[in-house]
Amino acid sequence: MDYDKIGRSVEDEGVEIDLKQVFLAFKKKWWLLLLSLIVGGGITGGYSKLFIDPTYTSTSMVYVLSKETTISSLADFEIGTQLTQDYKVLIKSRTVMENVIKNLGLDMGYASLKRMITIDNPKDTRILSISVESENPYMSKSIVDEVAKSSAIYISEIMEMDPPKIVESGEVAGYSTQPNVKNNAVLGGLLALFLVSGILAAVTLMDDSIKTEEDVEQCLGLPVLAVLPACPEDHTAMQKRRKKSRRGEK
């Protein structure tokens, strides 16, 4: 007799039974899972809406190659890619940040302004996308336009070339970038559902009490010979009956 196969079959059967118990527990407590999804989404969405300040993003685009540095004048097309990396560093340099703060009269340090700026280079292009995110949509536009202007002047001085061409100026955002209330609500609801499902599954798997005839046969290995029927009278009805009998005795 192959005891290894028997052990594996029993082990597999136990896993299947446990999964079935978990599924039945989920089916029985479906209302709890649904409630956790709604409550988690509502709390997260409400918190995002009421307690997180909205931020607005404005974007300006700068073309890296000027009329002096055309593709035909480059020894290798990869030089254009290298220029975009140089521009990224120069745009967020301390000199440019301090010029922007001075020109706009901002009440902040250059490090704080630097954290508000994001620079991206779309794939296979020589264009830099400069984005500024702040709590004021008009301030975001003013800053991103000034960053593009000041950085173009600074780059032309450092590299001794014509200033980069500003392809597109920023615009006032009509809606907030952050927070995304809908996404936060969905993520919060799913997280709450996951936590409640995990707790419910753990409680179900750890519960080794005997509730049905199948549990008796599985846990004790004994056949069920008889089942006592449930009492038709509930506890309240039994109490009333006892009170009436006591009154009759008096």
Say if 105 falls within a structural domain.
yes
pLDDT in tens, 168-188: 999 999 888 888 889 999 999
Alpha-carbon distance of 54 to 78, in angstroms, equals: 40
Beta bridge partners of 182: none
Based on the fold, state whether residues 62 and 45 are members of the same structural domain. Answer: no
**pTM of the predicted model, to two decimals?**
0.65
Q: What are phi and psi of 90, to 5 degrees?
A: -70, -35
Based on the fold, state whether residues 44 and 60 are members of the same structural domain. Answer: no
Based on the fold, state whether residues 155 and 240 are members of the same structural domain. Answer: no
Based on the fold, state whether residues 34 and 62 are members of the same structural domain. Answer: no
Say if 175 falls within a structural domain.
no
Domain count, the chain: 2
Q: What is the DSSP string of 176-232?
A: --B--HHHHHHHHHHHHHHHHHHHHHHHHHH-----SHHHHHHHH-------PPPPS
Task: Provide the residue type at 200 as one letter.
Answer: L
Domain boundary among the residues 168, 198, 228 is at 168
Say if 173 falls within a structural domain.
no
pLDDT in tens, 128-168: 999 999 999 999 999 999 999 999 999 888 887 778 889 99
Based on the fold, state whether residues 143 and 232 are members of the same structural domain. Answer: no
Indicate the range of 13-17, 29-33, 96-100, 219-223 predicted with least confidence. Answer: 13-17
pLDDT in tens, 67-122: 555 545 444 455 556 778 888 899 999 999 999 999 999 999 999 999 999 999 88
Domain boundary among the residues 118, 139, 168 is at 168
